[in-house]
Amino acid sequence: MDGNEGYIFKELTSEAEIRSGFQVMKYLRTHLTEQSYLDLVQEAQVKEDYRLVAMYDKTQMVAVTGFMPMITLYNGRFIWVCDLVTDPTVRSKGYGKILLNYVHDWAIENGYTTVSLSSGLQRLDAHRFYEEKMGYDKVSYVFLKRLKKD
């Protein structure tokens, strides 16, 4: 895969592997405990074909992404990037770009021609990254309503 030479990409599937990904994922999903993260990843892997992939520079895990194939009337068959995070101690070294290009390559190899994601309104640096460095178009807003639990 172009631009990915020298890095190791590993899909995290076992409980121990998934737990190891929490060391980086916790910087993006700060509301999750390690156990709630593990439970959600395992359920999403079974029910939604969620893929959790770690990127290593030599032996150090430097970034993690979670993505899944989806089908909607708007996008057709596409890949939804649920999570993309680089360890803050190694940011600005191009790891996010390399890992997102890995997702693009995976999508193409598996017959998908569209990759989509959402990014929090406050994450202006991430928006610049997606638009300016990765060539993404801003095409919509994502709305959320939290429903009361009884």
Each residue's pLDDT tens digit, 29-65: 999 999 999 999 999 999 999 999 999 999 999 999 9
Query: Predicted confidence band at 97 (pLDDT cuts at 50, 70, 90)?
Result: very high
Q: Answer whether residue 1 shows pLDDT above 60.
A: no
Nearest to 95 by CA among 9, 19, 28, 12: 9
Q: Answer whether residue 138 shows pLDDT above 80.
A: yes
What are the backbone dihedrals phi and psi of residue 79, each rounded to the nearest 5 degrees, phi first?
A: -105, 130
Q: How far apart are CA 52 and CA 44, in angstroms?
A: 10
> What are the residue boundaries of the structural domains of the chain, listed by start?
7-133
Condensed to tens digits (0 to 9), the pLDDT of residues 98-136 reads 999 999 999 999 999 999 999 988 888 899 999 999 999
Query: Predicted confidence band at 149 (pLDDT cuts at 50, 70, 90)?
Result: confident
What is the pTM assigned to this prediction?
Answer: 0.91
Q: Answer whether residue 21 shows pLDDT above 60.
A: yes
Q: Answer whether residue 144 shows pLDDT above 70.
A: yes
Superfamily of domain 7-133: Gcn5-related N-acetyltransferase (GNAT) (3.40.630.30)
Residue holding tokens 């693009």? 104
Q: How far apart are CA 130 and CA 96, in angstroms?
A: 10
